[in-house]
Amino acid sequence: MRFGLLVREPSPPTISIVFLLASIVLGACSSVPTIPANGKLYGEHVSTTVDSEIARYYLENYLKGNNRNKEMDKRILQLYNQSKQSIPSREALKVISQNYSVDFASLFLADRLLSIDCNKKLNKHFLHHLNNRTTVNYDTSSYLVLFVPGWDYAEIGHLTGADFAKPRKLATEFGLENYFVELPPTGGVVENAEVLSEYISRHSHSGKEILLVGASSAGPAIHLALSNRFTKNEQNDIKAWLNIGGILQGSPIIDRYQTWPRRLFFNLVVWYKGWDKEEILSMSTNQSRKRFSRLQIDPDILVINYLGIPLSGQISRYSRDNYPLLRADGPNDGLTLLTDAIAPDSLTIVALGSDHFFAEDPRIDEKTVALMKLLISYLGNDMTADCGG
């Protein structure tokens, strides 16, 4: 399965035949309109194609305060009045996608996230670290980073970067002591959470504050591990969790293979690869949403999401098969629905233009360093006081 973030992803056949079969078994999806659009969202320039005229108008005009189309203005204003200041739910985004378009819903979600004052400040600081060669005047020696990998990292890690070799190297150069959490390469959520819990306990008395960095399928394991699995002292050692595209509420792709005839192909591939079917199903939306609803972590732990929000013209080669399959459910990153990757009581960095496979971003190394600078400076400045953590 193509799970992984901030890491180089392999070609589809290298990882799984399952998602390649999706386009065959589920049938070809109707083509998505390609309407050129150029605009800015909170200072970030966007130049791509979108799936509707109202998405283009929203990006190019409405968000800049240029009200030139009374009919569209009325429809958009009506949506804002209904939504107020809240982040739209999974269900709401599906309805918005149906009434407006998927790209419009994606842009609307990005705007709602960035309209939150703490998110706005966080994204501003991130862009500052990214676009300027800033230094962080805080002691990195007081922190310890645990990198938690995504699915099947052992088999393809040396080719894809799923072993976190590059981020770990960058973290070391940055002065951060760090360790790689050796999860079962194709383990399920519960098994991975247990292994992670052992790693946290092992480092909990080091005298350093622990920062967890998790990619993709590591997200639900971290969420579970942080939910009532440690003594109070061990919880106090965990300072922050950087959730990079975590499939916290599962991947609908997995659920789609549990009905006939898709289940036949799913079972065949699982048998061929030697995977444990139940471990994979632990990352389905059916199981994940039930688990997600009952989990609760220490509110003193700072949680930051790095959330890819792609428009239809920005889908990477590794999401092209899956993204169309999930469009009927609303905005997605090619593996999960966007709001399903947002942790509870958290802050969010909006990676507009990126899908689930962040490694396709040509500036990913720079952004990895910027994320580390942001996290350390954010904690060091005690900006968590007003914005969570």
Q: Looking at the domain assignment, is residue 259 inside a domain?
A: no
Signed CA dihedral, 120, 122, 128, 130: sign only: negative
How many domains is the chain partitioned into structurally?
1
pLDDT digits (tens, 9 = 90+) for 312-347: 999 998 888 889 999 999 999 999 999 999 999 999
Q: Looking at the domain assignment, is residue 348 inside a domain?
A: yes
Q: Looking at the domain assignment, is residue 296 inside a domain?
A: yes
Task: Compute how many other C-beta atoms are within 10 angstroms of the C-beta atom of residue 264.
Answer: 11
Cβ–Cβ under 8 Å, residues 154 and 185: yes
Q: Looking at the domain assignment, is residue 98 inside a domain?
A: no
pLDDT at 382: 57
Residue 44 has pLDDT above 90, yes or no: no
Residue 360 has pLDDT above 90, yes or no: no
pLDDT digits (tens, 9 = 90+) for 159-190: 445 678 888 999 999 999 999 999 999 999 99
pLDDT digits (tens, 9 = 90+) for 52-89: 999 999 999 999 999 999 999 999 999 999 987 789 99
Q: Looking at the domain assignment, is residue 57 inside a domain?
A: no
pLDDT at 257: 87
Q: Looking at the domain assignment, is residue 234 inside a domain?
A: yes
pLDDT at 85: 74
Domain that residue 155 falls in: 12-16+118-252+287-387
- Which CATH number fits the domain that encloses residue 359? 3.40.50.1820
Q: Looking at the domain assignment, is residue 28 inside a domain?
A: no
Secondary structure of 40-90 as H, E, C letters: EECCEEEEEEECCHHHHHHHHCHHHCCCCCHHHHHHHHHHHHHHCCCCCCH
Q: Looking at the domain assignment, is residue 281 inside a domain?
A: no
